[in-house]
């Protein structure tokens, strides 16, 4: 994947490190990054936090956030991104939580709804994207989206 190669090059250029906290992607973002030779210079690690219990116990997402807003929310991915960045002591962190489908959705959060959190040195950005397609397509599209978002935002995060 050319985007992941570009990401590694930019991170090396900026002397920045990255970590991930993944739910619905099941570690796919970390896989795409670590597929690239030399990624160990910038990638420190990942936590696949599929259950709310792990999001709470390992990633320190407060229970009241999970209970009030749900796992697929801006509040949850903001906490996941900020906390994994602190746990792994990286410059940048990515968090993702969503409903890959085909089931599991609600009227408010349909299958294909994915929330992203991106923690940078001076800000954390969150956004929600709705992907179409099979479970595999939603997961793959989510991972690619995360990498492309990083490519567009890292230059702004490191002046």
Spell out the per-residue pLDDT of the chain, length 159, in tens: 699 999 999 999 999 999 999 999 999 999 999 999 999 999 999 999 999 999 999 999 999 999 999 999 999 999 999 999 999 999 999 999 999 877 777 778 888 999 999 999 999 999 999 999 999 999 999 999 999 999 999 988 775
Q: Which residues contact 15 (CB under 8 A, 6 or more apart)?
A: none
Please state the φ and ψ torsions of residue 59, each to the nearest 5 degrees.
-95, 0
Report residue 82 as tokens.
């900020």
CATH of the domain at 16: 3.90.950.20
Q: Is the dihedral of CA 26, 28, 33, 35 positive or negative?
A: positive
Q: What share of the chain is helix, strand, coil (3-state, %, to 5)?
A: 45, 20, 35
**Over the range 54-85, which residues count as b (16 or more CB within 10 Å of their CB) and which as e?**
ebbebbebeeebbeeebbbbbbbbbbbbbbbb
Report residue 61 as tokens.
């997402």
Residue with tokens 């890959």: 100
Report the C-alpha gap between 25 and 140 in whole angstroms: 7
Count the domains in the chain.
1
What are the angstrom distances between the C-alpha of 39 and each of 12, 16, 89, 136? Answer: 9, 11, 16, 24
pTM above 0.85, yes or no: yes
Domain with 20 in it? 2-157
């Amino acid at each position: 994947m050319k985007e992941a190669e570009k990401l590694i090059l930019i991170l090396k250029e900026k002397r920045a490190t990255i970590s991930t906290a993944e739910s619905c992607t099941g570690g796919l973002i970390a896989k795409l990054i670590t597929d690239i030779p030399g990624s160990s210079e910038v990638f420190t690690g990942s936590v696949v936090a599929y259950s709310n219990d792990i999001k709470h116990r390992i990633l320190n997402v407060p229970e009241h956030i999970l209970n009030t807003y749900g796992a697929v929310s801006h509040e949850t991915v903001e906490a996941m991104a900020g906390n994994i960045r602190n746990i792994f002591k990286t410059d940048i962190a990515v968090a993702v939580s969503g409903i890959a489908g085909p089931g599991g959705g609600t009227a408010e959060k349909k299958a294909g709804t994915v929330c992203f959190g991106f923690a940078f040195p001076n800000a954390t950005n969150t956004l929600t994207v709705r992907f179409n397609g099979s479970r595999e397509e939603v997961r793959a599209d989510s991972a690619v989206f995360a990498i492309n978002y990083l490519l567009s935002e890292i230059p702004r995060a490191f002046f």
